[in-house]
């Protein structure tokens, strides 16, 4: 369906060598390369029609559903009425997510009330309430960006003028409790959000997200 409706239109795709966009790597806070590519080429990679050593993820969070994929807007509600009523406003952004199972969202929190709707596939959330904040480590990191070289290898380029970014170095799926012993006191919740289901993710709740391959949300 997406292939027919969006077609070869050029869209923004996050590209990384390891599936971790916006995450701590080699003592840097590393952001993905923002790649402009035809949507059909992206789908060929996700559907394994074309092999690539890199990991691709449509994940731009600037209301990319309405800005980059307006062709899909008529197939979803513009807002969730009960949430708009509860918050007294319409959504600030409506985002479209589609990617590979290797694309992982590192543990972080947002200053937004989020409703996360899965259209197809599954999302796997690991959640911490704000009360776990004392047990979750933060450090300041030099921001940097992945850049794909001509030969296809990646280099990490520092954003020299940017201020350091506070981020969580810990992997909640495999926490280093020798390095971060306080995390043993945290109480993560885990849930699977399946196609047709919606997760209310309150502001300031920490979340780490994985997905089934080709999940649309």
| Residues belonging to the chain | 217
Q: Which CATH number is 57's domain given? A: 2.60.120.10
Distance, CA of 197 to CA of 129 (rounded, Å): 21
Lowest mean pLDDT among 49-53, 164-168, 175-179, 210-214: 49-53
Model pLDDT for residues 70-120, shown as the tens digit of each residue: 999 988 888 999 999 999 999 999 999 999 999 999 999 999 999 999 999
Q: What is the dihedral of CA 24, 156, 43, 73, to 10 degrees?
A: 60
* Residue 61 pLDDT level (bands cut at 50, 70, 90): confident
Instruction: Indicate whether 8 pLDDT > 90.
Output: yes
Domain total of the chain: 1
Helix H or strand E segment including 2 = helix 2-6
Residues 6+ apart with CB under 8 A from 115: 80, 83, 198, 199, 200, 201
pLDDT at 78: 83
Residue-range definition of the domain harbouring residue 156: 1-216
Q: What is the dihedral of CA 152, 154, 158, 163, to 10 degrees?
A: 110
Is the separation of the CB atoms in 161 and 208 below 8 Å? no
Could you give phi then psi for residue 99, rounded to 5 degrees? -165, -175
How many Cα atoms within 13 Å fall on the side-chain side of residue 137?
18
Model pLDDT for residues 144-180, shown as the tens digit of each residue: 999 988 887 899 999 999 999 999 999 999 999 999 9
DSSP state of 59: -
């Amino acid at each position: 369906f997406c292939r027919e409706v969006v077609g070869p239109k050029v869209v923004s795709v996050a590209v990384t060598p390891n599936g971790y966009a916006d995450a701590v790597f080699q003592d840097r806070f590393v952001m993905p390369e923002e790649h402009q590519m035809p949507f059909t080429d992206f789908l060929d990679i996700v559907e394994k029609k074309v092999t690539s050593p890199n990991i691709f993820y449509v994940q731009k969070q600037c209301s990319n559903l309405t800005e980059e994929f307006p062709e899909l807007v008529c197939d979803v509600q513009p807002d969730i009425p009960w949430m708009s009523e509860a918050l007294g406003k319409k959504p600030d952004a409506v985002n479209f997510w589609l990617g590979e199972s290797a694309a992982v969202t590192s543990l972080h929190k947002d200053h937004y009330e989020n409703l996360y709707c899965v259209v197809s596939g599954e999302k796997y959330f690991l959640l911490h309430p704000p009360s776990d904040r004392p047990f979750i480590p933060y450090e300041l990191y030099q921001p940097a960006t992945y850049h794909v070289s001509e030969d296809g290898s990646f280099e990490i380029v520092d954003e020299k003028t940017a201020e350091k970014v506070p981020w969580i170095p810990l992997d909640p799926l495999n926490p280093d409790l020798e390095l971060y012993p306080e995390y043993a006191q945290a109480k993560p919740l885990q849930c699977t959000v399946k196609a047709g289901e919606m997760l209310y993710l309150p502001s300031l709740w920490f979340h780490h997200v994985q997905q089934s391959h080709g999940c649309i949300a």
